[in-house]
Structure 1
Amino acid sequence: MPADATAHVRIARPSLDLEAAERFWVAGLGLAVQYRHEADGTPGRHSLLMVGWPGAGWHLELVHDPAAPVVPRPTPEDLLVVYLGEEVPGALVRRLEEHGGTRVPAHNPYWDTWGVTVQDPDGYPLVLSTRTWP
C-alpha cells in the first residue's frame, strides 16, 4: 500500500530530559500525552514520550536511553512549524517560556516575519506561524 495524504507521521527526536520535554510540549504548547514508556535500565530499552493533539495526523516521539543517552544535535533548520493562521498569542509564548522554552531569532528571517521561534529544552526550534497551510 503506498503512502498517501492519510498516512500518520511520527517525528522522533532524542531528549536528555523527558520531564522537561513534557513540561514544554504538554503544559507549554498544549499537546496531549499519547503514550509513555519508562525504561527499567535494561540495555537497549528506551524511555519515550509521545505527544500530539488527539486526532491529528502526526505526533512527536521523544526518546531517551538511560543506558546510552543520545545527545540532541538540532540544527537551525530542524524546525517543527505549527501554522496557527492568526497572530501568535503573547500568552502562549510566555507559557512556553515558563515551561522551559527560550524565544530565539529564527535562522531564516522568513520565520521572524511570519511567526515566533521558541527552542524546546533540547534546543530544537518550534515555529508558531501566523500563516496557514492549505
Structure 2
Amino acid sequence: MIADGTAHIRIARPSRDLAAAERFWADGLGLTVLYRHEPAPGAPPGEHALLMLGQPDAAWHLELVHDARSPVEPRPTVEDLLVIYLGGEVPGDLVLRLENHGGRRVLSHNPYLEEWGVTIEDPDGYRLVLSTRTWSNRQPR
C-alpha cells in the first residue's frame, strides 16, 4: 500500500527532558498535548516516557520519548527541520515566546530558509522553521 494524502504522519524523536520539550512545543508554539505516558515504578526495561504533541484535527503529530534507564541522546543536524508554513509574517511575539520557553533563535544552514523564515532550536537542538511562505503541492515544472 502506498501512503496517500490521508495517511497520518508521526515524527518521532528522543528527548533529554520531556518537561522542557513540552514547555517549548506546547507553551511556546501552542501545540496540544495529545497523549502522555509515564512508565510505572518498576516498569520493565525499555518502557519509556512519551509525549505526543500536535493539533487534534491534524494528520501529523510529534512524538517525543525518553527512557530514563537507557536514554538515547538526541543527535540533530542543521538539516533536521520541522518546517511550518505560516503564509505570512512570523509574529515577533511568537518568536519571543518560543525563546522564553527554552528555544534559541539560530541562523539557518540553508539560505533559502533564512530568507523566508525564522529558525529556532528546541531544547534538544532540533530545528523549527517558521516560514513566511505558503505550501503548495503543485510545484513549478
* TM-score category of the 2 structures, normalised to the smaller one: over 0.9
CA RMSD of aligned residues (A): 0.8
Moved more, 17-26 or 32-41: 32-41
Select which of 86, 102, 105 maps to 2:104.
Answer: 102
Q: Is the 8 A contact 1:34 1:52 kept in 2?
A: yes
Gaps of 5+ in 1: none
Gaps of 5+ in 2: 137-141
Query: Aligned equivalents of 2:40 and 2:123: distance in 1?
Result: 23
Larger radius of gyration: 2
Q: Is the 8 A contact 1:39 1:66 kept in 2?
A: no
TM-score (norm 1): 0.97
Q: 3-state SS of the aligned residue for 2:78?
A: coil
Q: Is the 8 A contact 1:81 1:126 kept in 2?
A: yes
Query: Aligned equivalents of 2:30 and 2:117: distance in 1?
Result: 18
For the pair 1:14 / 2:14, whether they are aligned, the reply is yes
For the pair 1:25 / 2:29, whether they are aligned, the reply is no
**Percentage identity across aligned positions?**
71
Report how many aligned residue pairs link the two structures: 134
The letter for the 2-side match of 1:35 is Y
Shift, 1:33, TM fit: 0.3
Query: Aligned equivalents of 1:85 and 1:21: distance in 2?
Result: 25
Q: 3-state SS of the aligned residue for 1:118?
A: strand
